[in-house]
Structure 1
Amino acid sequence: MSSPVSERRLRVLHVEDSELDHQLIMAQLRRAGLDLEVQRVDTLGEIAEALNQPWDAIISDYNLPGYSGLVVLDLLKESGRLIPFILVSGEIGEDTAVAAMRTGASDYLLKNHLARLAPALLHAIEANESRRARVAADQELRKSKQRLHELAGHLQTSVEMERAAIAREIHDDVGGSLTALKFDLAWIDRHAHNPEVRQRVASALETVTHAIEASQRIMHNLRPAILEQGLVAAVQWMAARFERRTGIVVSMRTSHEQMQLPAGVPLVAYRTAQEALTNVSKHANATRVDIELSIDSGVLTLELRDNGQGIAPGDLAKARSFGIRGLHERAATVGGWVDLSSNSKGTSLILSVPLQAEGLDGLGEQEDSAAEHDPSAWGLL
């Protein structure tokens, strides 16, 4: 049964110094019914030039004047071309043949067994084309993953920009209106004499105060202005609020009180801690959370450990575990990664972000005032 390869014209480069041996090999291949376009070369200069052309296969003698077939194989490897290479020799030791195969040769044959040459040639070409297809598929998959990664990063940035816009609207419109209303109610309270009116005003003032507090809480969740004080202060503030709200004890340790970090990193770390604490309050049934924030050997590490019930392996593998996937994608936007481990004694989440060397020079100093380009930075609410 013929293969598609045997039915087309094949371009073969033949490295051979003997014209007689060249004719014998060509006759053997044509006797097998192969349609060939062949070029014979026998010097290293000719070989190097010929490797720039497209070939379906290379057949090379082993013993050549001044060099061996393994030298030709090395030239092929240096060129980066995926071309099947078949070594043919009048005499070749087993060790040499094994070394050639390990180096990348597709096959080797003795010149007194050329009946195997045509099947070996077709098999090598078919295997090489399958390999090329796999390489192309892998490259396309990598490109697709990169496009998805870029899209995820764009979506993360878009979400943060939208959060910032909403927070500004709440600050400028809702917050301003509520504050003005509170002043008006306070004025009415000072000038009212009817006890019922003053009681109603006091109730309204309480409602407005709760609304202002709620708007401030929403603004902080949408766009944490506390990040202006640095990542350490922001995580400490978040941990304290979490402890007051949930009753879960939070302990925090840090290697530096101030950290100068590249743009985007503080917000990624803050959101990671926020998501982790939210998951603890919802699912862990924990009584304690330990947070460690450190920089060591040029890597920012944020670790959160709880003493809860842990996460079932099946939950981590759920198709709709978008929270965990979101953490991975968010970390990837700044070149970092997330490690999550869990057992019956609790769960540990570690965010690691490699930092540029210049980002470590300012450790112990205040954040750079030119942070307007940092998407984690925004004015006071």
Structure 2
Amino acid sequence: MITSNAGHSPAENPIKILHLEDSPIDHALACRALERSGMRFSIERVETLGDFEQATRSSPPDVILADYKLPGFTALDAWAELATEARPPFVLLSGAIGEAAAVSAIHSGISDYVSKEDIGTLGRVILRALDIHRAVVAKRRADVELAASEKRLAEFAEHLQTTIEGERAAIAREIHDDIGGSLTAVNLDLSWISRHSEDQAIQAHLRAATTMLQQAMDASQRIMMNLRPSILDQGLLAAIEWLAISFEKRTGIKTTLRTSSEMLAPPKSVQLVAYRTAQEALTNISKHAECNLVRLDLSDADGVLTVEIVDNGRGIAKDQLEKPRAFGLRGLHERAKAVGGWLDISSREGDGASIILTVPLTHAKLSQAEESHS
């Protein structure tokens, strides 16, 4: 083992180099070139593939320096022996390799190549290889952390959606049990008064009160359906059909529904995602599209559920899709991911918009089976 402190303060850690070289003379030349570069380093020379494997396992180097052609093997064989994720920078220092072979070696992942004729550049090449390696490792670590963060965010979004649906169901039950019951009782009392009074002024007030009461009952029913789509108990097609009819009645926009099958029966979790996607899309259309026609298409062809909502309105500007507070559409993306699907939004300004939910039903059924057994 050779150690050099040239050009560096004692507080700096030396660069630990493993030199795969069968020639002591060439090893000495490499050491001299590194000393002249001012690098602080420690270096160990090994000659055989076995010694190389042992050295990399027992004390992993910061950088590997290797001759290309050695007795019975090449540097590429040594490179192949290294664990992929733990490979340090690997620099070829050889005079017995052509340019084409050097390029091929670099394409295989080896960091760089220095001809023994240009050994004076060795220190600079090693430092550059180390800098690149650190950047790659940092990026890899950041990618892993980003993927973990995205996974946690997706899990939180799924939990949030589940919590929201639970709260919606609870509110819908309260409306049905408390407000709905009270409104029904008031309606019965008004009917009783109407039957037992012949006063025309009272009858006029009763008719007005009954009309307002019916509006309140209709509103409570509509709110309950929006909060908890109990109509999904009758199937996805019935629920989407109810949405389309209600939307057309409320907005006056002609709305058509087409389906590939009258017997759509995806898992309950997928039905809810499909329903909420259509609901959110129709809400956005009523607010922003300025259209006079909406088309909904349902299909479960080839084991894939597809829900498409298309309008002929003014379209969605790109900046609207990308704005930070586009929580409605972003929520639809997260809902789709939660059941193994995805959402596509396409639009051209002035030429309408299309929102397509796609969910492979095989994946959804497997996920549902796993949840039922967990």
Q: TM-score, normalised by structure 1?
A: 0.86
8 A contact 1:51–1:79 mirrored in 2: no
**Structure 1 residue 7, shift from structure 2 partner:** 4.4
Over 3 Å counting, the alpha-carbon distance change for 1:242 and 1:85 in structure 2 is same
Instruction: Name the CA distance, whole Å, in 2 between partners of 1:91 and 1:205.
Output: 100
Pairwise CA distance, 1:121: 1.0
Secondary structure, aligned partner of 2:257: strand
Moved more, 287-296 or 109-118: 109-118
Distance in structure 2 (CA, Å) of the matches to 1:315 and 1:110: 56
C-alpha deviation, 1:282, in angstroms: 1.9
Q: Partner of 1:34: helix, strand, or coil?
A: coil
Contact 1:311 1:347 in 2 (8 A): yes
Aligned-pair CA distance for 1:60: 1.0
Q: Which structure 1 segments of 5+ residues have no match?
A: 361-367, 374-381
Match of 2:321 in 1: 316
The answer to which of 15-24 and 223-232 deviates more is 15-24
**Which structure's relative contact order is higher, taking Cα pairs within 8 Å and 6+ residues apart?**
1
| Contact 2:339–2:364 (Cα < 8 Å) also in 1 | no
The amino acid across from 1:161 in the alignment is G
Is 316-325 or 123-132 further displaced after alignment?
A: 316-325
Distance of 1:309 and 1:358 partners within structure 2: 34
Are 1:227 and 2:232 an aligned pair?
A: yes
**Deviation, structure 1 residue 327:** 2.1
- Within 5 A, what are the aligned runs for 1:156-235? 156-235=161-240
Q: Which residue of 2 aligns with 1:346?
A: 352
Aligned counterpart in structure 2 of residue 281 of structure 1, from 286, 293, 316: 286
- Alpha-carbon distance, 1:20 to partner: 3.4
Give the letter aligned to residue 72 of structure 2: G
1:254 to partner: Cα distance = 1.3
Give the match for residue 89 of structure 1: 94
Q: Deviations over 1:71-102 (max 9, x none)?
A: 112223x4322411101123211111111111
Are the aligned partners of 1:301 and 1:350 in contact in 2 as well (CA < 8 Å)?
A: yes
User: What does residue range 1-381 of structure 1 map to in structure 2 within 5 Å?
Assistant: 7-52=12-57, 53-76=59-82, 78-343=83-348, 344-356=350-362, 359=365
* Aligned counterpart, 1:379: none
What is the number of residues matched between the two proteins? 361
Partner of 2:60, secondary structure, is coil
Q: 1:206 to 1:358 in 2, by over 3 A?
A: closer
CA contact (8 A) 1:16 1:61 kept: yes
- Give the superposition deviation at 1:357: 5.5
Following the alignment from structure 1 to structure 2, what is the Cα–Cα distance between the partners of residues 122 and 153?
46
Q: Look up the SS of the partner of 1:232 in the other structure.
A: helix
Q: Secondary structure at the match of 2:18?
A: strand
- Does structure 1 conserve the Cα–Cα contact (< 8 Å) formed by 2:154 and 2:334? yes
Q: Distance in 2 between matches of 1:350 and 1:327?
A: 11
Q: Distance in 2 between matches of 1:335 and 1:125?
A: 41
How far is 1:297 from its partner?
3.3
Amino acid at match of 2:80: D
Partner SS, residue 286 of structure 1: coil
Structure 2: how far apart are the matches of 1:297 and 1:22?
65
SS at match of 1:83: coil
Cα drift, residue 178 of structure 1: 1.4
Across the aligned residues of Structure 1 and Structure 2, the Cα RMSD in angstroms comes to: 2.6
Report Cα offsets for 1:248-295 as digits up to 9, x if no partner: 221211122223323421111111111111222222221211111112
- Give the unaligned 5+ runs of structure 2: 1-6
Residues 81-90 or 325-334, more deviating: 325-334
1:165-203: CA deviations, max 9, x gaps? Answer: 111110111111211222233233333344444443343
Deviation at 1:39, TM superposition (A): 3.0
Contact residue 291 and residue 311 of structure 2 kept, 8 A:
yes
| Correspondence for 2:3 | none
1:309-341: CA deviation from partner (whole Å, max 9, x where unpaired): 222333333333332222222222223222111
Contact 2:8 2:39 in 1 (8 A): no
For 1:171 and 1:324, the matched residues in 2 are separated by 30
Normalised TM-score (structure 2): 0.88
TM-superposed CA distance for 1:59, in Å, is: 0.7
Which 10-residue stretch deviates more, 214-223 or 204-213?
204-213
Q: Secondary structure at the match of 2:263?
A: coil
Amino acid of the residue matched to residue 354 of structure 2? S
Partner secondary structure for residue 80 of structure 1: helix
